[in-house]
Structure 1
Amino acid sequence: DNQFQKTASNDHGRSTDSCNQASEFESALRHKARSERHQRTAERAEKALAEKNMRDMLAQREQTEKHRLAEFLDPEIKRWSNGKEGNLRALLSTLQYILGSDSGWQSVPLTDLITAAAVKKAYRKATLCVHPDKLQQRGATIRQKYICEKVFDLLKEAWNKFNSAER
């Protein structure tokens, strides 16, 4: 019986040592995995921050450029829209003068804009041409974006007036 206790205590001692070694090994593996995971997370966060800073810098440059362009484009846009504010037919029939040839806009003669359906069709085509989201997809220049934003607002205002007059 005494012999049995010695053997059992020796086995138990060995078993405790191997458990300690296994848990130390597992702890080392876990520690390594955890530190690698933290490293990857930190690298992703650093990369995301750098990308955000780049986007912010580009947005700031674009805003500065828009302010600079506004000085000489606003009078040009005002000259184009002068006397036509709220007159959707007049704005649509002269749109090519403000957008330029590189915009993709096909001019529409005033005589083609007699019916409400024709005006609606031309308005829809114009909004596709000058909508800010569409410009972003086409990769328009800052100058084109600025002009189109202003024209889009003028057309939208004229459309609302046209719709209320048609009803």
Structure 2
Amino acid sequence: MSEEFNIRHARIVDINAITAVEAACFPATEAATREEFEGRIQYYGDHFWLLYEGDQLISFVDGFVTDEADLTDEMYERAEMHDEHGAWQMIFGVNTLPAYRNRGYAGRLLRRAIEDARQQGRKGLVLTCKDRLVHYYACFDFVDEGISDSTHGNVEWHQMRLTFGD
């Protein structure tokens, strides 16, 4: 990737760009709203990894930290559940604008989130994904724990976990 790409954490000034990328990546029933992102940035802006090309946000990963071992639907809507001292880094979204997909951008952000969680002393990371993406996350050492209890967006989700060794 060229030097013009920049990874940084979210600030409220990123709200329009984040909301637009989310809308381009997920159907309305699954996409977070602007108001949800405002809460997320307020409570855990340092747990957003944004990849910009110049002034254009092209990809981002976000999720909060908690001691809860499993990702629940309630977590998507209640940013205040974030606990900076929690054991698990949850991943709520992995988003890349369609025109920028298949170039390794999401992977770069995931690796950064994984490394940050490791350096912060977390037990690991948890995410949910659709069946067709299980193999993708397995490439980052996430293990499929089967179908989750999530009904977010009326879709079937697999819960996947990456646990750090001692």
After TM superposition, the score normalised by the length of structure 1 is 0.21
Greater helix share, structure number: 1
Larger radius of gyration: 1
After TM superposition, the score normalised by the length of structure 2 is 0.21
**Greater relative contact order (Cα < 8 A, sep 6+):** 1
Greater strand share, structure number: 2
